[in-house]
Chains A and B, each alone.
Chain A
Amino acid sequence: MELVNPGIGLIFWMALAFGLLLFILGKFVWPPVLRALHEREQSIELALHEADKAREEMKQLIFSNEQLMRQAEEERDALIRDARRVRESLIEEARQRANDEANRIIDNARERIHFEKMEAITELKNQIAHLSIEIAEKVLQNELSQPERQKEFVQKSIDKMNLN
């Protein structure tokens, strides 16, 4: 039964060698190896996490871009609407002003016409007066050509005058 009857020397050397191996590897090899593996895993995890975060941020960015775009569009629409309104009001105002001007011009013209007419009437009146005097002169000359008539006229005129 030598197969299951090991020598004490072998057990001694095995215990010594394995204990030493356990000590040396446990002190100088496994800690740095396990630490390096752990660190690498952590850095990979961190990188993945960061990539995730970047993707999330990208999504956010795209979303905010879209929002910005929509906002810009709305603003543009508002601007256009405003501009249209301003344009319309401007046109309205211009029309109003043109109307007013036209009215003023018409009024002016009317006034002028009136004035001119008055002037013309006055002129006409003067003319008529002048003509009347001339006619009257002619009539008087004609009337007073006879001496009795002259006398009669003077008499009448003197009668009319109140000598006071």
Chain B
Amino acid sequence: MKKGLLFIFLLLSGLFAYPAPAAAGTGSGESHDEAFNAGHLIIDHIVDSHEWHIATIGHTHITIPLPVILIDQGKLHVFSSSKFHHGHDAYKGFKIETERNANKGKIVKVIPGTMQTDSSASKPIDLSITKNVVGIFVSFLVLLFIFFSVAKAYKRNPGHAPKGIQSVLEPLILFIRDEVAKPSIGKHYEKFMPFLLTMFFFIFFTNLIGLIPVFPGGANVTGNIGVTLVLALFTFMMTSFSGNKSYWQHIFNAPGVPWWLKFPIPLFPIIEIIGVVVKPFVLMIRLFANITAGHIIVLGFISLIFVFSQISPMLGYGVSVVSVFFAIFISVLELLVAFIQAYVFTLLSALYFGMATEEHAHAEEHH
């Protein structure tokens, strides 16, 4: 009961974290005259950002400025993102692109002395600690903290029943080992266990932290395609490096396939190579799309309140009841999705490892 109340409180407090409505609702600011745009709000909220926005009260943005690290023509620039004044100012010849084009939210160079984007200049390499990078670090620290204490618990009382957080995580560890790794990989499963466990818990915990609406949670980390790209690349590299001879043979010279499919046009190898690339690509898209979709739906329900309140404030109040109810419902659903997506990513990775290490002792049986 207490935990339920806390959850609802966090959800409601999250309402203040959604930036644009408050600014747009007042409608009297010099640059805030535009009508409330739910699409812009949602997109601004789920993409990466150079500052961590917490709330906007009136015209005051409450944000946590994050360090900007740029490498421009061999020179390193490190400064706080507060120098940009939420995108209103340029600093050292750089600014955050505010136009809604391909570079929106990225750091670009300006024509000296103006706020105009210098489209002819090369873009700086942006290694800034952005909101999502902080989110990654938060997950990183949470995982380290939790799993070091779990490992210590295992070392402290070996051979005994698990206690505390250890007993919460042990079923998950066993689940990954017995239901994911063993059936998918087979006898070589032990080699992949650290990778699968790290992958599963990183995705699961990051998904959960992403559901907390307030700092330090709420960053849409696993709903960012860059993050899922890296995760999928790790799986891809693990698969490729652990692939045995028969795995590569099946790709480049599959036994039992007519020779004219391989020569002179290597049709079959090309299809196989496409398959190898598509597998991690699908992993990347699935996780990104699922988590982003969850965030979009929650934000969509919250945005409904402001859309309706622009028609009539009373309508806004009325809709808010329904919207908050649905937002809570979707958030609870997202708890489930957080687990399922971590599980699916890990399971598919394990299946790919299983394919890579499968031993075709009876190769002819497969065809």
A residues near B (Cβ < 8 Å) are 1-15, 17-22, 24-26, 28-34, 36-37, 39-40, 43
* Contact (Cβ within 8 A) B151 A32: yes
Bound together, the chains give a CA A40 to CA B167 distance in angstroms of 14
Residues of B within 8 A of A (CB): 43, 46-48, 69, 102-106, 125-130, 132-133, 136-137, 140, 143-144, 147-148, 150-151, 154-155, 158-160, 170, 173-174, 177, 190, 193-195, 197-198, 202, 224-227, 229-231, 233-234, 292
Instruction: Identify the closest chain B residue to A41 (Cβ).
Output: B174
Q: B147 — which chain A residues lie within 8 A by C-beta?
A: 25, 29, 33
Contact B226 A36 (CB under 8 A): no
A6 vs B47: C-alpha distance in the bound complex, in angstroms?
A: 9
A17-B133, A17-B136, A18-B202 are known contacts; what are 13 more A-B pairs with Cβ within 8 Å? A3-B292, A6-B224, A9-B126, A9-B127, A9-B128, A18-B198, A18-B230, A20-B140, A21-B144, A36-B154, A36-B158, A37-B177, A39-B158
Q: A6-B48, A21-B143, A40-B159 are in contact. Are A34 and B225 (CB under 8 A)?
A: no
User: Could you list 23 examples of A-B contacts with CB < 8 Å?
Assistant: A2-B105, A3-B43, A3-B46, A3-B225, A6-B225, A6-B226, A7-B130, A8-B125, A9-B128, A10-B48, A11-B226, A12-B127, A14-B231, A17-B133, A25-B144, A25-B197, A25-B198, A29-B151, A33-B151, A36-B155, A37-B170, A39-B159, A40-B160
Whether A34 and B193, one on each chain, are in contact in the complex, defined by CB atoms closer than 8 angstroms, is: yes
Closest to B157 in A: A36
Give chain A residues whose Cβ lies under 8 Å from the Cβ of B193. Answer: 30, 34
A-B contact count (CB 8 A): 129
B133 touches A13 (CB 8 A): yes
**Alpha-carbon distance between A40 and B257 when the two chains are bound, in angstroms:** 48
- Determine how close the nearest CB of chain B comes to the CB of A33; give it in whole angstroms: 5
Tell whether, in the assembled complex, residue B224 and residue A10 are in contact, meaning their CB atoms are under 8 Å apart: yes
**Distance in angstroms between the alpha carbons of A39 and B47 in the assembled complex:** 45
In the assembled complex, how far is the CB of residue A28 from the closest CB belonging to chain B, in whole angstroms? 7
Expressed in whole angstroms, the Cα–Cα distance for A24 and B226 within the complex equals 22
| Bound-state Cα–Cα, A5 to B46, Å | 13
Cβ–Cβ contact B127 & A37, under 8 A: no
Residues of chain A with a CB closer than 8 A to B190's CB: 34
Q: Chain A's nearest CB lies how many Å from the CB of B287?
A: 13
- Most chain B CB within a 10 A radius of its CB, from A20, A24, A30: A30
Q: Which residues of B contact A12 (CB under 8 A)?
A: 127
Contact of A22 among B125, B137, B194 (CB under 8 A): B194
Q: Which residues of A contact B170 (CB under 8 A)?
A: 37
Measured between beta carbons, the chain B residues less than 8 angstroms from A28 are: 148, 151
Roughly how many angstroms separate A19 CA and B227 CA in the complex, as a whole number?
12
| A7 and B226 within 8 A (CB) | yes
Q: CB-nearest residue of chain B relative to A40?
A: B159
Contact of B174 among A1, A8, A22, A37 (CB under 8 A): A37
